[in-house]
Amino acid sequence: MVRTEEVRRPSLAVPRILGVAVAYYGAAQLGLLKQLVIGGAVVTPLWPSSGIALAGLLFLGLGVWPGISLGALFTIVTLGPIHLFDIGIIAASTLAPVCACLMLRHVGFRTELDRLRDGVALVFLGALAGMLISATLGTAMLLIGGKLRGEGFWPAWSAWWAGDAMGVLVVTPMLLMLRGARWPRAADFRRWPEALALLIVAVVVTPLATMSALSLLFLVFPVLIWAALRFQLAGSAPYALFVSVLAISEATDLVGAFAHHTLIQRMIALQALNGSVALTSLLLASIVTEQRNVRLKIEQACVELADLVAHLSPAESPKRWRPGRGKKPGKKPGGG
């Protein structure tokens, strides 16, 4: 039996590694559609590959890390010829999600995201802390290799870090939600009219908020809160991704609320919006899910307690004595 498992594991590892590599590369190509050049370096406001890399490690284990390296290598090849410092960038792109995964495992992170502590851990350990590694090492490699001018280090570093962190905050919850998705039960179909209404409002309000020159970006938050309160991560995660994609498109195309601003001003406003949307989506959905699970556990405990009491209580006898209905059984009449 042990030998059979040892034979099967390599056969499963190779397809998983290749699958992670293909997913990483495909997400990178989508991210590069809205690339920016800061200080001579190519960066993106949203790097979805970092979110896919972390999700792959959480789902499949640390053994798929070569897939992240392969995906990063294929991505660099599409941007130009390979240089020696690119090896450091590949290592940074691999090391960041691996360290983030290890930190999440250390604090007992659950991929169901059904506790507030899981949402907080993903935000501060998986995204903000973990992606410091890729941004710092990657930007340093560009500086050493001559691809980045000295005065552009901190702008490039901040954009790199924000893009990788946004990839984790926006893409990873979406993948975690899809992995735990189940076919809706019969009772869930009664919520479809509300889900359809939410979809219509999101499609109408979100482009208006991002494309309007009146700075109406705050309009996305009532919709986001509605999605999180009523549908938890299944509603808030897709909407957060939708808002981020539209905002990035408008910021890079210089239209809407992002028009007539400098590059630094656009990046600050964009990352503030994306960060606020991702944090609100993740934390609010986690809080609602945790409270719902607590309520279900209390209800289940009450049902079990009622069943236990009913099982332990003696059956009532038809001749059981009642006050005011004669003398107690066994009591002899008369005095003494």
pLDDT tens for the chain, residues 1 to 336: 334 443 445 567 899 999 999 999 999 999 988 887 776 677 788 899 999 999 999 999 999 999 999 999 999 998 888 888 899 999 999 999 999 999 999 999 999 888 889 999 999 999 999 999 999 999 999 888 888 887 888 888 888 998 999 999 999 999 998 887 666 665 566 788 899 999 999 999 999 888 877 778 889 999 999 999 999 888 999 999 999 989 888 888 777 777 777 777 777 888 888 889 988 998 899 899 888 888 988 989 998 888 888 888 765 544 544 555 555 555 555 444
d(C-alpha 144, C-alpha 304), whole Å = 66
Partnered with residue 36 across adjacent β-strands are 43
Question: Could you tell me if 175 and 52 are in contact, meaning their C-beta atoms sit under 8 angstroms apart?
Answer: yes
d(C-alpha 189, C-alpha 237), whole Å = 20
* Phi, psi (deg, nearest 5) at residue 305: -65, -40
**Which residues are CB-contacts of 268 (< 8 A; sequence separation ≥ 6)?**
none
d(C-alpha 55, C-alpha 70), whole Å = 16
pLDDT at residue 11, as a whole number: 60
Return the DSSP state at 1.
-
Place of tokens 């290592």: 91
pLDDT at residue 3, as a whole number: 42
Q: Is the dihedral of CA 15, 170, 253, 82 positive or negative?
A: negative
d(C-alpha 32, C-alpha 27), whole Å = 9
Please state whether 260 falls in left (phi above 0), alpha (psi between -120 and 50) or beta: left
At residue 98, the 3 state secondary structure works out as helix
d(C-alpha 13, C-alpha 218), whole Å = 45
User: Two tokens at 32?
Assistant: 């590069």
Task: Indicate yes or no: pTM above 0.85.
Answer: no
Amino acid found at 175: L
User: Two tokens at 169?
Assistant: 């905050």
Q: Is the dihedral of CA 163, 169, 173, 174 positive or negative?
A: negative
Alpha helices by DSSP H, the chain: 2-31, 48-60, 65-79, 85-106, 116-121, 131-144, 153-179, 192-211, 220-252, 263-312
